Homo-oligomer: A and B are copies of this chain.
Amino acid sequence: MTDLIPTPTVPAPDVLRCAYMELVVTDLKKSRDFYVDVLDLQVTEEDETTVYLRSMEEFIHHNLILRQGPVAAAAAFSYRVRTPEDVDAAEAYYRELGCPVVRKKDGFVTGIGDSVRVQDPLGFPYEFFYDVDHVERLAWRYDLYAPGALVRIDHFNQVTPDVPKAVDYMEKLGFRVTEDIQDDEGTVYAAWMRRKPTVHDTAMTGGDGPRMHHVAFATHEKHNILAICDKLGALRLSDAIERGPGRHGVSNAFYLYLRDPDGHRIEIYTQDYYTGDPDNPRVTWDVHDNQRRDWWGNPVVPSWYTDASTVLDLDGNPVPLSQRTDDSEMDVTIGADGFSYTRRENADSSFGEHSGANDGEDEFKLGHQL
């Protein structure tokens, strides 16, 4: 963890929440079919090159943009800030950091006003805005709900080579770590960070980056996620299911990972927990705990570790990758020399003992809650 991102002298913008992602897709018709006909996201508006989508409980213009383009990529991770002045603050903050910064008073996309886009120190295209068109919150429109209705955007997930460096940068930006995965040597494999009081608005996953790992939408209940799987099966699109459904250890949420027609990864997610207190206990998971990423111990497929989406710079060009130099989670857990375990070797794993709690020296346990 060397070469930390400097701390600007100007204050960080007050970020409310992750708000939307802009995806470049190579076949807009296919992508629209996937997000609208299969996943039942709601179309706020659309034209020949762009579709603006939102979830059932959203009142801002969109949570996802599909934009036709030559190369599949993530073009913007967009956060809403608390006030119009926070857009100024964001601009000043990143200018001091020496990042590429573009300010547009009329916004970069339909429905959003005054905004700033930056290529942040980790290489990601971040956007900050306050001004946005309000649209009907469809929360009460049960006549429009599908069995797998997506009700909120929940979080982003980013791939970056040096997780501690990324965490330090995000903490300076005002994010708080809620959970992470480490090993006994202190290598950090991933970290979850929030502004709104859920487990995260974004997570940093160790790997060659910058890349976009996934964007996540929430459902109300677990059966909604199962319904998405059932529908994909009925449409003979089960190949779109990459991993899950399952229960995460980290976040305690119920999850499903899909791959869209361009390979962009979408998570469907429900039921993490409130994290809004300043002293919310951080949960640290051992990378060798095979329940950390799936509470039921089901294996993580390799593609989930290796694949991620290209991100674009502010000129729309793919950002070249830097390689991770720390150990990779996949290698230490499912590689030739790796190992995974549910219980420590000498643990008495007799049935009927409640070993899930933090109560045993010799048993594997839920990560230390600081």
Contacts and interface: CB of A to CB of B under 8 A. Distances in A.
A347 B239 CA distance: 14
Contact of A238 (B17, B143, B252, B297): B297
Contacts of A221: 220-223, 271
B357 A141 contact: yes
A96 interface: no
A152 interface: yes
Given A143-B234, A143-B235, A351 B37 contact: yes
Interface in A353-370: 353-358, 363-364, 366, 369
A280 B59 contact: yes
B354 A234 contact: yes
A238 B295 CA distance: 8
A74 interface: no
Contact of A16 (B241, B254, B276): B276
Contacts of A347: 236
Q: How many monomers of this chain does the complex have?
A: 4
A83 B278 contact: yes
Q: Which of A147, A232, A236, A252 has the most CB of B within 10 A?
A: A236
Interface in A241-296: 241, 245, 247, 249, 252, 254, 261, 271, 273-274, 276-281, 290-291, 295-296
Contacts of A281: 59, 134, 137
A223 B139 CA distance: 17
A179 to B, nearest CB: 11
A44 interface: no
Q: Which of A145, A221, A233, A281 has the most CB of B within 10 A?
A: A233
A105 interface: no
A301 B316 CA distance: 43
A34 interface: yes
A227 interface: yes
A338 B359 CA distance: 47
Interface in A178-216: 196-197
Contact of A296 (B140, B152, B222, B232): B232
A342 interface: yes
B226 A247 contact: yes
Given A143-B354, A143-B356, A297-B233, A369 B137 contact: yes
Nearest to A151: B273
Given A141-B234, A145-B227, A236-B347, 13 more contacts: A30-B351, A34-B351, A134-B369, A141-B356, A147-B149, A221-B271, A229-B296, A233-B295, A234-B356, A235-B352, A235-B353, A237-B351, A245-B245
7 contacts: A134-B281, A137-B281, A147-B147, A233-B295, A234-B354, A239-B297, A245-B245
